[in-house]
Amino acid sequence: MNFDRLSVQSPKRDRQARTGWEGFFPYYAGYPETFARKIIESSDLKAGSLIFDPWNGSGTTTFAAAQLGFKAIGLDLNPVMVIVSRARILPFSEADALQPLSRAILASADYSICADSSDPLLNWFDRNATNTIRAIERSVCEQLVGTLTISQNGINLDKLSSIAAAFYVALFAVCRDLTRSFQSSNPTWLKLAKAGERRISLRRSSIERRFQQHIDEMANVLSGKLVEAARDCFPAEIMLADSTSSTLPKESVDFILTSPPYCTRIDYTAATRVELAVIAPLVEENIIELGRNMIGSTRVPKREIQFEKSWGPTCKRFLHQVKSHPSKASGGYYLRTHLDYFDKLARSIDAIVEVLQPSGAAILVVQDSFYKEVHNDLPTIAGEIAAGRGLVLKRRDDFYFRRSMSGINKNSRTYGRKPGAVESVLCFQK
């Protein structure tokens, strides 16, 4: 592969990325579809090549790869994101089916059944609104989730159809819109209602209308996409899996395009709290443990983790600065959560190297950050970890953004550091 010919654009998401089909998936993502598409188009991959994203998130890479006619596999540990990315690859030919199906779902919803008193939707909605949302969710499941998809342990997300996923995404959107009053200053954090705090109260007809509107909008956008489609799409495979595990056969992947979760203490499970509540009856998932298992967790790991030399000198220097920092809990909580992050990142890169074919390419979008005033040069750290595992850095493109997630915390201004962040596109070859 000629890495000099790769079209590497800015990975920053813009307003255009929030419109059209992409606008239905407004989840925190490392880069927009246009970025992924340009890189894949300029990669000179052979027909039938397999493109892989071990941190698939909302499915930007798998969607772009499928649209360009390549096979694609994406992994994510969060069941919400597996559903979202499955909905994103819904074939354009399904546009005409969405509205009749939504009418059938609403018509067959059984509103006489009361939601369980432990239903997590009650964290934001009153009893009547919760009953309505749950009745629609139950009807979606009965109408669109096949018997092979449901097991004793809940829903088998690996077998969930894209059209079923689209209806869950529509219900996600309704709940996200309605819970905006619980949004904190951090856009990735949805607060829970406090004891005695008033819950969201809406009539059944209002919730039904919002659900139907989302489906109508999806159908309209998909109909337009059907006209634009220039070639058949390969079906992408989306799996609920951990990036630290080698889920795929050894040396089976031709090209990797991904963005590991940033080391900015973003609680990705808190960002999808309401969606996890919607699918609670279907997924056997302990939200606390899910958050603990994800890379970038804000929870202290249960096991002791020690620095490994293979993580490189930049990581060693950064961890030493965190440990010796005079601020509270630096040598305890913060050191341990950073050790957890680098341990999971290193094990994930191990898995990437194992599944990548010889001479295959791996493109990682990595953002730096700060701990207090201490610079966490994550792109360099990722490069050193990768180099120690046999990946050769062929190209690096840096993009500076004035606004970043780490700047949300007002206390960050007290450290006198430069605002914003650098997002690096690291291009490796095995």
Measured distance CA(75)–CA(174) in Å, rounded: 26
Measured distance CA(235)–CA(223) in Å, rounded: 19
Q: What is the pLDDT of residue 16?
A: 56
**Mean pLDDT of the residues in the chain:** 89
Q: What is the pLDDT of residue 406?
A: 53
Q: What percent of the chain has pLDDT over 70?
A: 89
Q: What is the pLDDT of residue 230?
A: 43
**pTM of the predicted model, to two decimals?**
0.92
Strand partners, 75: 239
Neighbours of 8 (CB within 10 A): 18
Name the pLDDT band for 426 (thresholds 50, 70, 90). Answer: very high
Q: What are phi and psi of 357, to 5 degrees?
A: -70, 155
CB 261, CB 296: distance < 8 Å: yes
Measured distance CA(2)–CA(93) in Å, rounded: 36
CB 210, CB 217: distance < 8 Å: no
181-232 pLDDT tens trace: 888 776 667 888 888 889 999 999 999 999 999 999 999 998 876 555 544 5
Residues 6+ apart with CB under 8 A from 283: 79, 154, 155, 157, 276
Q: What is the pLDDT of residue 101?
A: 96
**DSSP codes, 146-165:** -GGGEETTEE-GGG--HHHH
Least confident of 37-51, 160-174, 270-284, 352-366: 270-284
Residue type, 344: K
Least confident of 150-159, 178-187, 338-347: 150-159
Average pLDDT on 342-360 reads 97
Neighbours of 411 (CB within 10 A): 7
Q: What is the pLDDT of residue 222?
A: 87
55-109 pLDDT tens trace: 999 999 999 999 999 999 999 999 999 999 999 999 888 889 999 999 999 999 9
Residues 6+ apart with CB under 8 A from 233: 66, 67, 69, 89, 91
In the three-class reduction of DSSP (H, G, I as helix; E, B as strand; rest coil), residue 93 is classed as helix
